[in-house]
C-alpha cells in the first residue's frame, strides 16, 4: 500500500519523506488555507521535495474553467495530479486532462456508482471519503470494499485512494480490503507506530537496564 500524506505543511512532509513514508502528497483548498501559503508556490516546493504524485485541486466549477486551471496546475511539475471534484463537469475535465497525459485525482467520492464513472472517465485516482461517511452513520469501509470489487471485476486501472482517514483503524481496514493508497494527516501516519504494549515493554526494559549499571556508549 502507498502512503500519501494529506497536508501542505512542508516540514511535516519532509520529516516523513526522510523516513521513506511518503509515496505522494494530497492537498486541497482547506489545507492550502491552513498553510498560509500561495498555492502555486507551496505546490512547487512539495513537488520538488517528493518524487510521487502531488495532488493539487482546481477551484472552478465549470468544465471549461476546470480544464484551464488543471493545465496551469499540471505545468508546475511532472508529478502533479490534478484534483477535480466528482461532478459531471469534473468528469468532463478528467477525460480531457487524462487524454492530454496528465494524472487526475477525482475527489469527493461517496458512492460506488460515482467511482465507476470516474474509472470510465480515465481517472488515475479515485478518492472515496471514509471519515465523512462515518460522520453520517454510513460505513466508509463498505464503500472501499464495493469499489475494490467493481474495479477488480472489470480490470479498471484507476487506483483507490482512501481519503478522509481519521484513525489508524481506517488505515488497517483500507489495507485489508486492498485500497491502493491511503492519504492521511501526518499525525495519523505517526500514530501507526504507537501501541500501549510497546510502551509498556520498553519501560520494563529500561527499568531492568538501569539496574545493570551498564552503558553502551
CA Rg, the chain, in Å? 20
Cβ neighbours, 10 Å, residue 178: 15
- 34, 44, 72, 83: the active-site residue: 83
92 is known as an active-site residue: no
Positive or negative torsion for Cα 54, 3, 1, 86: negative
pTM of the model: 0.95
The pLDDT of residue 36 is 95
The predicted-structure confidence for 94-122, as pLDDT tens digits, reads as follows 999 999 999 999 999 999 999 999 999 99
Residue 24's DSSP bridge partners are 4
User: Rounded CA gap, 139 and 88, in Å?
Assistant: 25
Kindly report the average pLDDT of the chain as a whole number. 97
Residues with pLDDT less than 70, the chain = none
The predicted-structure confidence for 170-181, as pLDDT tens digits, reads as follows 999 999 999 999
Which residue stretches of the chain are H helix?
10-18, 29-35, 39-49, 63-74, 88-99, 112-120, 130-135, 140-154, 168-177, 186-191, 196-212
The pLDDT of residue 197 is 98
Burial of 83 (0-12, 13-18, 19+ CB in 10 A): buried
What is the CATH number assigned to the segment(s) 2-212? 3.20.20.70
Amino acid at each position: 500500500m502507498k502512503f500519501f500524506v494529506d497536508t501542505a505543511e512542508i516540514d511535516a512532509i519532509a520529516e516523513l519523506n526522510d523516513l521513506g513514508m511518503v509515496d505522494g502528497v494530497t492537498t486541497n483548498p482547506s489545507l492550502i488555507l491552513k498553510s498560509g501559503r500561495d498555492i502555486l508556490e507551496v505546490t512547487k516546493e512539495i513537488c520538488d521535495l517528493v518524487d510521487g504524485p502531488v495532488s493539487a485541486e482546481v477551484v472552478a466549477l465549470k468544465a471549461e474553467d476546470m480544464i484551464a486551471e488543471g493545465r496551469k496546475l499540471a505545468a508546475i511539475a511532472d508529478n502533479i495530479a490534478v484534483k477535480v471534484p466528482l461532478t459531471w463537469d469534473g468528469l468532463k475535465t478528467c477525460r480531457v486532462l487524462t487524454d492530454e497525459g496528465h494524472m487526475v485525482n477525482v475527489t469527493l467520492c461517496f458512492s460506488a456508482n460515482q467511482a465507476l464513472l470516474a474509472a470510465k472517465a480515465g481517472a488515475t485516482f479515485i478518492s472515496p471519503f471514509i471519515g465523512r461517511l462515518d460522520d453520517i452513520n454510513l460505513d466508509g469501509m463498505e464503500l472501499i470494499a464495493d469499489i475494490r470489487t467493481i474495479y477488480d471485476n472489470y480490470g479498471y486501472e484507476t487506483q483507490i485512494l482512501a481519503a478522509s482517514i481519521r484513525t489508524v483503524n481506517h488505515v488497517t481496514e483500507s489495507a485489508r480490503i486492498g485500497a491502493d493508497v491511503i492519504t492521511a494527516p501526518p499525525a495519523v501516519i505517526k500514530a501507526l507506530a504507537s501501541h500501549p504494549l510497546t510502551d509498556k515493554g520498553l519501560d520494563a526494559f529500561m527499568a531492568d537496564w538501569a539496574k545493570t549499571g551498564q552503558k553502551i556508549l
